[in-house]
């Protein structure tokens, strides 16, 4: 299978990464060479194999839902690229 | 004390405990060497003045019962450090100051260690040569314009160059073991669930593990026993009985069964790697181990599986970098435009490539063909190891298919770069522990490593085998200080 320019533009939308035409051409080339390599998996019949989702064979533990980090609001907001009083600021979304 | 910085961690601790050197003297020595070694570009952030203050304060009230009493050390810039900038090698986090500490680093500070600074790495740990870092590539102390490996390249370089007595890295597909192998140092990737992932910038959550990097196996065992703790803040942290690895370390490995997987004899493997492996088998026999031929039939499918699973998880983990709550933000005409420009300008080429692969394999219509298929093959790879461990206690392989390469040599061909991890990736997919130890050099004098893979939670056994073999190998790293004028 081959990945074309249209597919790259579609993935770019899905992943919220803008790509210009030069970058898109390079991605077509790179992703095709990577997927050629990945296609090797099709040699294997996996019809009766259970997928492995986690190597950690434990059941999740429950814990009390408690607040442990307190009074770090200012430290958190300080990392924000744009803030206003107690809020994160984003470009206008409602017209 | 002629040269503090060339001591092993164990020697350094003994000198500090015997009051032959203070924490301040030690810290000063590593800072001075760090300042003279800026051409290596091993540090992203130096925290030297704070380190000195902490060392002075340690000396005023020393506690020698701690395991790392006043020992300065630098860590990979993938660990969140409270109040100290943490970038993950990315522009998108170039102004991020974590308001909290990773569990692994907290464990180290609790034992009395002092942070020297944050070490360079591939962007979001995605790379095998430290060339994808936004903060520039790292030079190897082994030779000029040689890569130190990656993604923990700054850690490996700093350790081999004596800028830090010990360090920690992270390993998703080989990111501790490959740079250790390239720089003549020891690196351990622990069992998945052994070290908490809390506070480590996430790359591929089902594969990521933190681990120690050191100058010898004994130091490695000591650091592993400090960083490996059960942590309720990481839902995949496993509550098992952890050894005091350094205390229980022994070179008696008589009768241990060590497997040699025939599938690791890959086409086109350089003769020096083949020879190293043969030599390694002889060393293991000399130590009294029994060598057994084994088969891991799905080895060749590990890299293609990894390049579906890891990017898929990365695309999901890195969705959080949207320019809103922290990190770099680009200006956009509207919210979506801001997201797209932020991520396009904030992430480097390799990270964008992997997000794209991951998004594609998880997208509607392709999930079964790629992601589900990869998870099934991952099961087959794990089954191979489960079968092998019915017959053997550990597995011996080369760490990498070649010695370190020159900066720029593989940057234009992603697949050839990925092939570096051919021997390390299966271990992450199966969640097993593995250690790389220096075992020889190639014809240019560049270090080569051997990898010992263990059963899950059997770190003690592979540390013991590594310890016994290290004694036979007697490797000496040749560091010429070429970067110091």
Task: For residue A79, tell me if it sits in a domain.
Answer: no
Residue A35 lies in a domain: yes
Alpha-carbon gap, residue B336 to B481, rounded angstroms:
50
Task: Identify whether A28 is part of a domain.
Answer: yes
Q: How confident is the model at residue B283 (pLDDT cuts 50, 70, 90)?
A: very high
The catalytic residue positions of B are 76, 151, 175
Contacts of B376 in chain A (CB under 8 A): 46, 49-52
Min Cα separation B17/chain A (Å): 35
Cα separation, B244 vs B249, whole angstroms: 9
Alpha carbons within 13 A on the beta-carbon side of B203: 29
For residue A27, being part of any structural domain is answered with yes
Angle (nearest 5°) at CA B425 between B197 and B192: 30
Select from A30, A61, A72 the Cβ nearest to the Cβ of B353: A30
For residues A55 and B230, give the distance between their C-alpha atoms in angstroms, rounded to a whole number.
Answer: 16
Chain A residues 17-76 with CB within 8 Å of chain B: 17-19, 27, 30-31, 33-34, 37-42, 44, 46, 49-56, 58, 60-61, 63, 69, 72, 75-76
How far is it, in rounded angstroms, from Cα B157 to Cα B178?
Answer: 12
Separation CA B200–CA B187 (nearest Å): 18
Contact: B377, A7; criterion CB under 8 Å: no
Nearest CB partner across the interface for B235, out of A17, A60, A75 = A60
Q: CA angle, corner B113, sides to B110 and B115, nearest 5?
A: 110
Task: Write the pLDDT tens digit of every residue in B138-160.
Answer: 999 999 999 999 999 999 999 99
Which among B288, B281, B283, B287 is positioned nearest to B264, based on CA atoms? B281
Task: Tell how far CA B11 is from the center of its chain.
Answer: 23
Identify from B359, B371, B420 which residue to disrupt to test chain A contact, counting A C-beta atoms within 10 A and taking the largest count.
Answer: B359
What is the reported pLDDT for B353?
96
* Mean pLDDT of the residues in chain B: 96
Residue A31: pLDDT over 80:
yes
A interface test, pick of B344, B349, B386 with most A CB neighbours within 10 Å? B344
Residue A30 lies inside a defined structural domain of this protein: yes
Chain B contact set for A51 (CB, 8 A): 372, 375-376, 378-379
Number of helices (H), then strands (E), in chain A: 3, 2
Residue A94: inside a domain, yes or no?
Answer: no
CB contact under 8 A, A53 and B206: yes
**If we measure between CA atoms, which residue out of B107, B76, B78, B68 comes closest to residue B230?**
B107
Ordered structural domains, chain B, with CATH: 4-263+269-296+386-473 (3.90.1300.10)
* Domain presence at residue A26: yes
Question: For residue B4, is pLDDT > 70?
Answer: yes
Q: What is the pLDDT of residue A57?
A: 72
Predicted confidence (pLDDT) at residue B1 exceeds the cutoff of 70:
no
A31, A38, A62, A71: best to mutate for the B interface, most B CBs within 10 A: A38
Q: How far is B274 from chain A (nearest CA, A)?
A: 25
CATH number, position A24: 1.10.20
Is it the case that residue A1 has pLDDT exceeding 70? no
Question: For B461-482, how does the pLDDT look when each residue is reduced to its tens digit (9 = 90+)?
Answer: 999 999 999 999 999 999 999 9
Task: Indicate the number of domains in chain A.
Answer: 1
Token pair 């996996």 in the structure block, residue:
A46
- ipTM for the complex? 0.94
Domain around A26 = 5-43
Are A37 and B307 a contacting pair at CB < 8 A? yes
Instruction: Name the nearest CA neighbour of B181 among B482, B471, B475.
Output: B475
Between A and B, how many CB-CB pairs are < 8 A?
165
Considering only CB atoms, B372 lies closest to which of A14, A51, A56, namely: A51
pLDDT at B2: 55
Pick A79's closest partner by Cβ from B97, B308, B413: B97
- Over 70: is that where the pLDDT of B179 sits? yes
């Amino acid at each position: 299978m081959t990945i074309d320019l249209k597919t790259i533009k579609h993935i770019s939308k899905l992943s919220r990464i803008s790509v210009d035409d030069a970058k898109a051409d390079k991605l077509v080339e790179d992703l095709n060479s990577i997927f050629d390599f990945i296609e090797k998996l099709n040699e294997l019949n996996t019809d009766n194999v259970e997928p492995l989702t986690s190597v950690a064979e434990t059941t999740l533990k429950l814990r009390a839902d408690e607040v442990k980090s307190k009074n770090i609001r200012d430290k958190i907001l300080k990392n924000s690229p744009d803030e206003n009083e107690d809020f994160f600021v984003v470009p206008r979304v409602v017209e | 004390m002629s040269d503090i910085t060339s001591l092993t961690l164990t020697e350094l601790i003994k000198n500090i405990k015997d009051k032959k050197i203070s924490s301040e003297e030690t810290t000063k020595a590593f800072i001075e060497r760090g300042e003279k070694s800026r051409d290596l570009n091993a540090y992203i952030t130096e925290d030297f003045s704070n380190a000195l203050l902490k060392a002075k304060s340690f000396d005023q009230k020393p506690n020698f019962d701690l395991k790392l009493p006043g020992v300065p050390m630098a860590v990979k810039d993938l660990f969140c450090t409270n109040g100290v900038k943490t970038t993950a090698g990315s522009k998108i986090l170039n102004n991020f100051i974590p308001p909290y500490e990773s569990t692994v680093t907290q464990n180290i500070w609790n034992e009395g260690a002092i942070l020297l600074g944050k070490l360079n790495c591939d962007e979001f740990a995605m790379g095998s040569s430290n060339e994808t870092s936004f903060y520039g590539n790292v030079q190897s102390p082994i030779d000029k314009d040689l890569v130190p490996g990656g993604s923990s390249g700054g850690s490996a370089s700093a350790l081999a160059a004596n800028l830090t007595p010990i360090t920690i890295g992270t390993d998703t597909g080989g990111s501790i073991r490959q740079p250790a192998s390239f720089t003549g140092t020891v690196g351990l990737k622990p069992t998945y669930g052994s070290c908490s992932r809390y506070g480590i910038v996430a790359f591929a959550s089902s594969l990521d593990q933190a681990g120690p990097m050191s100058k010898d196996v004994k130091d490695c065992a000591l650091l592993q026993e400090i960083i490996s703790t059960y942590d309720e803040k990481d839902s995949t942290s496993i509550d098992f009985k952890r050894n005091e690895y350094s205390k229980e370390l022994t070179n008696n490995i008589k009768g241990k069964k060590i497997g040699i997987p025939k599938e690791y004899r890959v086409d086109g493997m350089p003769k020096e790697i083949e020879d190293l492996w043969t030599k390694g088998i002889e060393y293991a026999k000399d130590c009294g181990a029994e060598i057994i031929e084994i088969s891991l039939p799905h080895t060749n499918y590990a890299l293609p599986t990894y390049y579906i699973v890891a990017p898929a998880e990365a695309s999901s983990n890195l969705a959080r970098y949207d320019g809103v709550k922290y990190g770099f933000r680009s200006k956009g005409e509207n919210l979506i435009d801001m997201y797209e420009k932020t991520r396009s300008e904030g992430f480097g080429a390799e990270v964008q490539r992997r997000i794209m692969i991951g998004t594609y394999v998880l997208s509607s219509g392709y999930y079964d063909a790629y992601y589900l298929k990869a998870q099934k093959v991952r099961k087959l790879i794990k089954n191979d190891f489960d079968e092998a461990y019915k017959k053997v206690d550990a597995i011996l392989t080369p760490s990498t298919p070649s010695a370190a390469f020159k900066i720029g040599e593989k940057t234009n061909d992603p697949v050839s770069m990925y092939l570096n991890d051919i021997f390390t990736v299966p271990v992450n997919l199966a969640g097993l522990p593995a250690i790389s130890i220096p075992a020889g050099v190639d014809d240019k004098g560049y270090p080569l490593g051997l990898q010992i893979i263990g059963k899950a939670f059997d770190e003690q056994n592979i540390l013991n085998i590594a310890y016994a073999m290290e004694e036979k190998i007697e490797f000496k790293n040749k560091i010429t200080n070429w970067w110091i004028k």
